[in-house]
Amino acid sequence: MKNDEFFEDLKGLNFDISEPDSGHKDRFLEKLNRQQKDKLPKKGKLRKLWIPLSSIAAALIIAFIAFGNVFNTPAFAKEADLAAVSPQMKETQDFYSTLIERELKSIEGERSPKTNKIINDALVQLETLEKEYNKLKKDLLESGQDKRVIYAMINNFQKRIDLLNQVLDQIETIKQLNTQENETII
């Protein structure tokens, strides 16, 4: 009985029960296909975009490789010197650096026409030792704090100090010779 009442209620709602026009299904499928084609990118456009994008990506990769070495130089890389190894090595580096500065100041204070050549030669030798030290800093960065490189860096500092001490001794010898010459002239 409930089913009969249900169908009776539906009759009053006036449903459209007629068949669709001929070709309705074909028109519907055609509209559906057109919408799907509009959503999918065309193969030609995708290919046209792919070529420039891949060439830009290749150019960027080449640029990073080429200029990567520039940014890997000590100016851009983490500074690798004795101070970077340990606090004790920092103290060692500071000690030698201040000692070298002090010796250089005392040598510059002794500059005269007779000592000028010796001092200039010493400064050239110091510059050579400084270049060697910079190479050692690069080696330290690449070797991962190899002890041999650390000892070579300390040895470089010692060579500089020995050089400066030799120059000071030579300056003292020149001063003594000048004093002796002046004494014999009087």
Q: Which of the pair, 40 or 119, is modelled with greater confidence? A: 119
Q: Which of the pair, 68 or 20, is modelled with greater confidence? A: 20
Query: What are 137-177's pLDDT values in tens digits?
Result: 888 888 887 889 889 988 999 999 999 999 999 989 988 88
Instruction: Tell me the HSE value of 28 on the side-chain side, using a 13 A CA sphere.
Output: 6
Residues 108 and 165 in one domain: yes
- pLDDT category at 51 given cuts 50, 70, 90 is low
Residues 87 and 59 in one domain: no
Residues 140 and 162 in one domain: yes
CB burial of 23-60 (b: ≥16 within 10 Å; e: otherwise) equals: eeeeeeeeeeeeeeeeeeeeeeeeeeeeeeeeeeeeee
Confidence (pLDDT) at 77: 46
33 occurs within a structural domain: no
> How many angstroms separate the CA atoms of 81 and 90, rounded?
9
Helices of type H across the chain: 2-11, 24-39, 43-71, 82-85, 87-109, 116-143, 147-185
How many domains does one find in the chain?
2
Residues 58 and 144 in one domain: no
Residues 102 and 160 in one domain: yes
166 occurs within a structural domain: yes
Query: What are 102-119's pLDDT values in tens digits?
Result: 998 988 888 888 888 998
Give the pTM.
0.54
26 occurs within a structural domain: no
Contacts of 157 (CB under 8 A, 6+ apart): 92, 93, 96, 97, 100, 133
Range of the domain at 59: 43-71
36 occurs within a structural domain: no
Residues 99 and 170 in one domain: yes
- pLDDT category at 179 given cuts 50, 70, 90 is confident
- pLDDT category at 50 given cuts 50, 70, 90 is low
